[in-house]
Amino acid sequence: VEERFAEDFAVRAPTSLRLRERARSTLVAPTHMDRYFFPSAFPVFVREASGGRVRDFDGNEYVDLCGGYGPHLLGYAHPDVVAAVTEGVRRGQVNGVGNLPEVELAELLVAALPGAERAVLCNSGSEAVLLAIRMCRGARGGRAKVAKFEGHYHGLSDQGLVSSWFRFAGERDRPEPVAGSHGADPAAVAGTLVLQYGDVPGLERLREHADELACVLLEPMPTSVVALDPPFLLALRRVCDEIGVPLVFDEVVSGFRVAYGGVQSVVGVRPDLTCLGKVIGGGLPCGAVVGRAGLVDVARSTRDPFQDYERKVFAGGTLSGNSLSCAAGAAVLRRLRADPGVYARLEAGTERLAGALREAAGRRGIACRVSARSSIFSLTFSHRPARLYRDRLTGSDFKATIALAYYMRRHGVHLPELHAFLISAAHTAEDLELVADAFAKSLDEMTA
């Protein structure tokens, strides 16, 4: 496929190719795809982005389904975000001092999520996860083990990466932890108990390890397979209550995307802590841990710094709660709050597009599976449905998924090569039709 497109791409997007070559001599990984998985053969260098579209330096316009990998739920350059950031810069962005946007964002978060009474702000989803785990360890008298679920990604920390992507080990009903990165501390692997999402009997293993566990951490709706299992989440909540171990929802992707109040508001399961990121920064770096006062307050200072070092969970960060990220995020949340119909529209667009993709593949007899919900799409070329990440890894054709992204690019759609793709509130019916049409054309070309 790469050979087939190389010439075409060199003619259509020469500047993107030139920029990639230029970037390579200094930047180890010029794009998200390089940082996470592999260097894209046909990266798009974006000159401008607005609404649901991005434009490169050679005049190509793409309907964009990367969505910055999550933050841009309202689309690029939303007027509310542009206004908030412009005003924030004009006033002088500040950090480390008291500022109104930080207080306002915290209030919006606490009001939105059923499980939230307090908030701590930070700079990314990864930091949020790291802090949540530390808070739980602090509250649990130093018990350190983390229970997590196979295939759930929780950011770049050694702990967050364990058994997240592209590798798995052990039996399917008794998975073993594996390191998520070369160079990661092996202690993170040894200190992790890995379970399977949806496996209620498997939750018994939590009881076996109850005395060692700091917390149970999961994506309540795993992004990699886009499957939601409310009875499982209820069962998990029950077990956590019985053994007295805090339940941490990583809603970095799903928070304010699946619903204003996150997955927890949809399924009626209240976690002890919730990790947030992406949407809450309006496209600027931002993360948060929100949750039960009794837990989040472990990060609150007393008046005595010497005592603090014994009892307080450290949650500092130079740019944490900076006025600009918070103003951008608060602008997005206010817009979402003022327009609750946005979620029904996103869901309708998701269903329509998923239906069109399934139909196009079905008509051509192509084994393609689309799981989609609340603006998040997972598309694989495989014969069997994959409820578990390991089934998806072993049972689907990743080369075909990557090739699809390249074919789609030729038809004006920017899909991530290897990632769930996302629609935004700014995508029009016309944008989604263009995607469906490009998909049908791409399948024809792929099978020609």
Residue nearest to ligand PLP (CB): 125
* Segment interacting with ligand PLP, rule: CB under 6 A, options 107-115, 150-158, 336-344, 400-408: 150-158
Which CB sits closer to ligand PLP, 88 or 125? 125
Nearest to 285 by CA among 29, 71, 88: 71
Q: Could you give the CA distance from residue 272 to residue 292 in angstroms, rounded to a whole number? A: 6
**From residue 27, how far is each of 35, 41, 68, 362 by CA, in Å?**
10, 16, 19, 42
Q: CB-wise, 13 or 188, nearer to ligand PLP? A: 188
Per-residue contact string for residues 116-135; x = within reach of ligand PLP by CB under 6 A: --------xxx--x------
Segment 275 to 314, residues that bind ligand PLP, using CB under 6 A = 277
Of residues 56, 64, 250, 431, which has the active-site annotation? 250
Which residue number, 136 or 360, has a Cβ lying nearer to ligand PLP?
136
Catalytic residue (choose from 153, 197, 260, 407): 153
Residue 240 · residue 147 · CB < 8 Å:
no
> Which region among 250-258, 289-297, 384-392, 398-406 touches ligand PLP (by CB under 6 A)?
250-258
- Rounded to whole angstroms, how far apart are CA atoms 99 and 213? 37
CB of 319 to ligand PLP, least distance (A): 13
Judged by beta carbon, residue 129 or residue 360, the one nearer ligand PLP is 129
DSSP secondary structure letters along 365-432: T--EEEEEETTEEEEEEBSS--SSHHHHHHHB-HHHHHHHHHHHHHTTEE--SSS-EE--TT--HHHH
Q: Per-residue DSSP letters for 262-317? A: HHHHHHT---SEEEE-GGGGTTSS-EEEEE-HHHHGGG---S-HHHHHHHPPP---
The count of C-alpha atoms lying within 13 angstroms of the C-alpha of 404, restricted to the half-sphere facing its C-beta, is 24
153 is catalytic: yes
Q: Which of 272, 278, 343, 389 is catalytic?
A: 278
CB of 370 to ligand PLP, least distance (A): 19
Cα separation, 422 vs 437, in Å, equals 17
- In angstroms, the CA 43 to CA 29 distance is 12
Residue 252 binding ligand PLP, by CB under 6 A: yes
* Residue 444 designated active-site: no
Which helix (H) or strand (E) covers residue 122, if one does? Answer: strand 118-122
Residue 271 interacts with ligand PLP (CB under 6 A)? Answer: no
Using CB under 6 A as the binding rule, whether residue 219 contacts ligand PLP is answered as yes
Q: Per-residue x/- mask for ligand PLP, residues 157 to 196, rule CB under 6 A? A: ----------------------------------------
Q: Measured from the CB atom, is 324 or 440 closer to ligand PLP?
A: 324
Q: What's the DSSP call for residue 72?
A: -
46 close to 56: Cβ distance less than 8 angstroms = yes
105 part of the interface to ligand PLP, by CB under 6 A: no
**Residues 69-88, interacting with ligand PLP (CB under 6 A):** 69
* Minimal distance, residue 251 CB to ligand PLP, in Å: 8
Using the rule CB under 6 A, which residue among 67, 88, 115, 155 binds ligand PLP? 155
Query: Contacting ligand PLP (CB under 6 A), which of 153, 260, 343, 407?
Result: 153
List 288's β-bridge partners, or say none: 121, 276
Alpha helical stretches, state H, 99-202: 100-112, 125-139, 158-161, 186-190
Strand order in the sheet with 213-218: 118-122, 287-291, 273-276, 247-250, 213-218, 145-149, 192-195
Shortest Cβ 224–ligand PLP spacing (Å): 9
- 118, 134, 154, 392: residue in contact with ligand PLP (rule CB under 6 A): 154
Active site residue 250: yes
Residues that bind ligand PLP (CB under 6 A): 69, 124-126, 129, 153-155, 219, 223, 250, 252-253, 277
Name the residues annotated as catalytic: 153, 250, 278
